[in-house]
Amino acid sequence: MDVIPGPAYAHRYGTDFWELGPGTGLAVGEGAEPAARWLRSTLGAATGLPLAPASAHGDDVIRLSVDPAAANSAAAESYQLAVTPKGAHLIGGGPAGLFWGAQTLRQLLGPAAFRRAPLPGGQWRLPLLHIQDAPRFRWRGLMLDVARHFMPKDGVLRYLDLMAAHKLNVLHFHLTDDQGWRVEIKRHPRLTEVGSWRARTKFGHRASPLWEEKPHGGYYTQDDIREIVAYAAERHIAVVPEIDVPGHSQAAIAAYPELGNTDVIDTTSLSVWDNWGISPNVLAPTDNTLRFYEGVFEELLELFPGEFVHLGGDECLKDQWRQSATAQARIKELGVGDEDGLQAWFVRHFDTWLSARGRRLIGWDEILEGGLAEGAAVSSWRGYEGGVTAARAGHDVVMCPEQQVYLDHRQADGPDEPVPIGYVRTLEDVYRFEPVPAELTAAEAAHVLGTQANLWTEVMEDHARVDYQAFPRLAAFAEVAWSALPAPAERDFAGFERRMTAHYRRLDALGVGYRPPTGPLPWQRRPGVLGRPIEGSPPNK
């Protein structure tokens, strides 16, 4: 059967099917109401079937139930699906597991089940089978950068649906950067009045000075954020906001110049950055900066109820701190030794601040420099090393190394591939990605919360380009994150490609503008080798 991500156990009984029709009912047990609402709204729209309430003891019924013994355990995301000639029974370890099982049921109904209205002559049937399934990782994430190119709210909601269809459960929402500030903060209105728009945007990723001479921007109101978070929660997806500090902060400094290193440069002359790369304009390590961002996070905590808040912490160029008398005096006052120690102090301040409010800080692996903040978790993006170091020190880790799962990197080395940046990462490369570093012991590996694919949008000007870069590789990543796959060299990529033949039709029905499959047929392939960097185009976050 062509389910993606592949289930842990599946057995089909013969070649017969159970057919759904206008009289097919939905029997809803305690705790299963959210999944029933989703099925009625989504499958109801695609099939035209009413899926009316029914008795759990009748025939021609889809029964939904939650196992009360597993609902608050590690098995909460597990599910079982049994289809017989008389109906189907879907059991979730918890509401989340029931929802993931509903995604599998939808796939089994065929590509037309992914449409928003029924097609003429539709036939709805499920193969007779038994599936038992559970995710490998707790954190199965997608990082969406809306700072470089803004994605309107409807596009974010669409990506939450695409994530749910692939059993991904964490949206890492990159809301701020040098090129734009995307979330309304009511006590600091200039962050969006000024910081959400730039005058122009650079084309491509190379050094040639090509700009689109028109403004680009946008932001989410707080009600937009509440809607996004609620929509995600209905799909059992946690939204982790990222406010990038102390680097990648030029948009904030353009809005509030006092946040910058005013004794080094005239920060009043700064605008929202219209270039890619790493801006040298970073936050000043002052009490005023701390109080300002505490105010930002106070509003964010009201909007994002989840466990984690991402503080960025990456690529903070420290030249201005080296030149700043204020920063040097702060280093001496705090006794932190140098600029790396100053950044570590900055991160530890917010680690303590968030912990006092029942939240956890997570940051890019640069937060290891100068000493890792106690209790902080790490997004390991510069390869595996940061994740290994953090796990061995007893810190939780999300593995998202750029060499494997940066989906903004090109998918082939041919001249027709748009905007060739970073590494060549084929569908097979992503499928053979292993999130847990081999050198970790079992106890250390337990700190790997999971894995995440990252979509940085410098070269993705609209949702069509985001689709092209994300798919089909995000489907391969989803299987890596969910399924208990063999070692990378032993994975059945040819089998995955065969299942993708059906999955492309689902993506078509969803309107996803994926990169068309190319290359030799499955039996002509040899095991993949990780791609090489494109000459003249170094990887850059």
Whether the CA torsion 64, 69, 70, 72 is positive or negative: it is positive
Rounded Cα–Cα distance for residues 161 and 141 (Å): 13
Q: Are the C-beta atoms of residues 399 and 380 closer than 8 Å to each other?
A: yes
136 three-state secondary structure = coil
Whether the CA torsion 434, 436, 439, 442 is positive or negative: it is negative
Say whether 177 is catalytic: yes
- Catalytic residue of the set 89, 174, 248, 463: 248
Please state the separation of Cα 462 from the chain's center in Å: 17
Q: Are the C-beta atoms of residues 203 and 211 closer than 8 Å to each other?
A: yes
Half-sphere exposure of 124 (CA within 13 A, CB side): 26
Distance of CA 432 to CAs 311, 389, 446, 483, 499, Å?
30, 23, 21, 12, 16
Say whether 315 is catalytic: yes
Rounded Cα–Cα distance for residues 16 and 370 (Å): 62
Residue 463 φ/ψ, nearest 5 degrees: -65, -25
DSSP symbol at 252: H
Block residue for tokens 């059906």:
502
Distance in Å from the first CA to the final CA of the chain: 38
- The angle that helices 473-482 and 463-470 make with each other, rounded to 10 degrees, is 50
Helix (H) or strand (E) holding 311, with range, is strand 308-312
Q: Are the C-beta atoms of residues 500 and 166 closer than 8 Å to each other?
A: no
Rounded Cα–Cα distance for residues 101 and 85 (Å): 19
- Catalytic residue of the set 315, 366, 402, 467: 315
Rounded Cα–Cα distance for residues 433 and 449 (Å): 16
- Catalytic residue of the set 145, 177, 184, 244: 177
Block residue for tokens 């109080």:
291
H helices of 93-204, where? 95-108, 153-165, 190-193
Catalytic residues: 177, 248, 315
